[in-house]
Amino acid sequence: MRRKWWLAAVALMLAIVVGALVMWQLWLHERVADVPSSVRPALKAVLNAQLWTDLVGGYWDGEMLDQSKLIATLPQTDRVQFQSALVLYCNLDAERGEKFIDIVGNDASALEVHLKALRDNSGANLSEAQRKSVDAWIVELGALQNQ
């Protein structure tokens, strides 16, 4: 009888872990579906790194830098889509925000225009946190260009 309970507990834990992994993959798929296929792997890598950092600690901004270097030669529209997704789905506070500014570089004007269009065209689809992040980065990018 004890063995049956133990097996049931293990099966339940396994089902929870598998369910969590499936939910994560569904969430991840939803986040990368709207970006160009050329930057999907980069965005997935950053979002996965952010998740693991949230779960076990550490830093994910190195992955953001690495992936940005990998997509640096892509067309600006693809880079801006990647950067826009980072604004929507990543916590770009303090040091990460500074690294993000370095990543954006010469794409600042294009990213600002894209974020304004995103805010104006899909504002109702953005969460409150996403709207605040988009607004804050529009201001930051505008200030960056005026320097």
pLDDT, tens digit (0-9, with 9 covering 90-100), for 81-109? 999 999 999 999 889 999 999 999 999 99
Predicted confidence at residue 122, as pLDDT, reads 72
Q: Which residues of the chain have pLDDT under 70?
A: 1, 123-124
Predicted confidence at residue 124, as pLDDT, reads 67
pTM equals 0.85
Among 51, 60, 54, smallest CA distance to 23 is for 51
Judge whether 78 and 39 are in contact, CB under 8 Å. Answer: yes
Predicted confidence at residue 1, as pLDDT, reads 67
